[in-house]
């Protein structure tokens, strides 16, 4: 069976375990546990009426709404078929020759860079440093570097990078005409996100691209809707021309417009995630598990017991978790779980207890 480079492959998990896909609790996918807001659901249903015509090729209504939400000119916004499409379009347009990635991090960066035969230099994150990026990353940015990807908070570790360090990286890259892509797809789950987001310095750096998505916080991964912000309008134009037109469907555009109205939903989400994340961390701390600081809607941990394949054992019990063994620079001792609904989190802890007590 092909091993997915992502979580959320519930279909393969169902085939492997023999458990119906609707009966598996998916902790491998970091999606808002509150689910799709009812107003967003209604907007998607109503949009079916317009599915007999092509979507707005320029996403005008959605971009106008995003411009207000993000407080940036509409000319700085590009909408995409999920954040993944934006990543690939960035690489296809810029065609970098030498990139820097942290390890571990989101696999899509590496996959996209390989499509243009880009050389990759890895900045290895260390357990000793709690998997945080340190100032020595500046030492590997040289005249050959033409693109740097940083996920903040990082996937799968959940760690945030200091904002001052991010600006140092962006400034150093600007001096050598290198692009910096900061992936902030999970930053909306952070209580004080303004202390970590680089959006307030966007206008100062025309080499900066910020990547965002509706997928996680609005719980609509099946709709595929992402976007990026960049003050360099030449780059925005290049992204539009680096792939097929009509990349964002009628349904996705309407879902995005409706989602941006639901500010209370986002506040409620942050509060709920904090409460349930604390519950999970407190319970995990009762076992031989090392937890790393988590600031998003998922928890990254190390099971200090080589005898247990936790993903396999959990799947036998109807729960899918994310093994991090196929991430670069970490071993099969590491796992990531989403923060889900209260009753689901309690089931997870019960099953985990069963496995660890048996061993």
Task: Give the H or E element holding residue 259.
Answer: helix 250-259
Q: Are 310 and 335 in contact (CB under 8 A)?
A: yes
Query: What per-residue confidence (pLDDT) applies to 3?
Result: 39
Tell me: cis bond preceding 91? Omega within 30 of 0 counts: no
Specify the pTM: 0.94
- The closest of 294, 265, 269 to 282, measured between CA atoms, is 294
* CA count, 13 A, side-chain hemisphere, 222: 5
Place of tokens 């998916």: 26
Q: Where are the alpha helices (DSSP H) in 95-138?
A: 107-114
Nearest partner of 259 among 59, 66, 58, 57, judged by Cα: 66
Structure token digits, residue 281: 């961390």
Cβ neighbours of 100 (radius 10 Å): 23
> Contact, 158 vs 126, CB < 8 A?
no
Q: What is the DSSP letter of 202?
A: G
CA separation for the pair 45, 58 (Å, rounded): 22
What domains can be seen in the chain, in order of their start residue? 10-30+263-358 (3.90.1150.10), 38-259 (3.40.640.10)
Please give the C-alpha separations between residue 53 and each of 47, 48, 193, 195, 246, in angstroms, as whole numbers.
11, 10, 38, 42, 11
Phi first, then psi: give them for residue 302, nearest 5 degrees: -120, 120
- Residue 89's CB is within 10 A of a number of other CB atoms, namely 22
| d(C-alpha 149, C-alpha 312), whole Å | 32
- Which residues contact residue 127 at a Cβ distance below 8 angstroms, ignoring those fewer than 6 apart? 302
**Helix/strand/coil for 206:** coil
pLDDT in tens, the chain (359 residues): 333 354 456 777 777 777 777 789 999 999 999 999 999 999 999 999 999 999 999 999 999 999 999 999 999 999 999 999 999 999 999 999 999 999 999 999 999 999 999 999 999 999 999 999 999 999 999 999 999 999 999 999 999 999 999 999 999 999 999 999 999 999 999 999 999 999 999 999 999 999 999 999 999 999 999 999 999 999 999 999 999 999 999 999 999 999 999 999 999 999 999 999 999 999 999 998 999 988 899 999 999 887 899 999 999 999 999 999 999 999 999 999 999 999 999 999 999 999 998 65
Specify the pLDDT at position 358: 67
Which helix (H) or strand (E) is 298 found in, with range? strand 298-303
Residue 297 DSSP label:
S
**pLDDT for position 9:** 67
pLDDT of 2: 35
CB atoms within 10 A of CB 306: 9
Residue 19, pLDDT score:
77
């Amino acid at each position: 069976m092909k091993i997915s480079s992502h979580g959320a492959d519930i279909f393969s998990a169902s085939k492997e375990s023999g458990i119906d896909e609707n009966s598996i609790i998916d902790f491998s996918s970091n999606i808002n546990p509150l689910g799709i807001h009812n107003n967003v659901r209604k907007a998607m249903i109503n949009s079916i009426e317009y599915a007999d015509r092509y979507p707005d090729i320029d996403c005008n209504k959605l971009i106008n709404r995003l411009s207000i939400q993000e407080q940036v000119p509409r000319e700085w916004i590009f909408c995409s078929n999920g954040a993944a499409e934006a990543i690939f379009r960035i690489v296809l347009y810029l065609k970098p020759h030498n990139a820097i990635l942290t390890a571990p991090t989101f696999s899509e960066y590496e996959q996209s860079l390989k499509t243009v035969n880009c050389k990759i230099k890895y900045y290895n994150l260390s357990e000793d440093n709690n998997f945080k990026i340190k100032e020595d990353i500046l030492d590997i940015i040289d005249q050959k570097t033409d693109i740097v990807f940083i996920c903040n908070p990082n996937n799968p570790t959940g760690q945030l990078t200091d904002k001052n360090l991010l600006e140092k990286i962006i400034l150093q890259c600007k001096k050598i005409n290198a692009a910096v892509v900061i992936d902030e797809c999970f930053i909306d789950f952070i209580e004080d996100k303004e202390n970590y987001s680089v959006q307030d310095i966007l206008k100062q750096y025309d080499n900066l691209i910020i990547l965002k998505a509706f997928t996680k916080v609005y719980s609509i991964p099946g709709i595929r809707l992402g976007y990026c912000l960049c003050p360099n309008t030449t780059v925005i134009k290049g992204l539009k021309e680096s792939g097929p037109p009509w990349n964002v469907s009628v349904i996705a555009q309407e879902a995005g417009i409706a989602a941006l109205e639901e500010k209370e939903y986002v506040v409620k989400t942050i509060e709920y995630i904090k409460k349930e994340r604390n519950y999970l961390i407190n319970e995990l701390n009762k076992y031989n598990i090392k937890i790393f600081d988590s600031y998003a809607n998922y928890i990254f941990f190390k099971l200090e017991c080589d005898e247990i394949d936790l993903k396999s054992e959990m799947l036998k019990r109807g729960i899918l978790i994310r093994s991090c063994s196929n991430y670069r620079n970490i071993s099969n001792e590491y796992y990531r779980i989403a923060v889900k609904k209260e009753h689901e989190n309690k089931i997870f802890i019960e099953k985990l207890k069963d496995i660890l007590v048996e061993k």
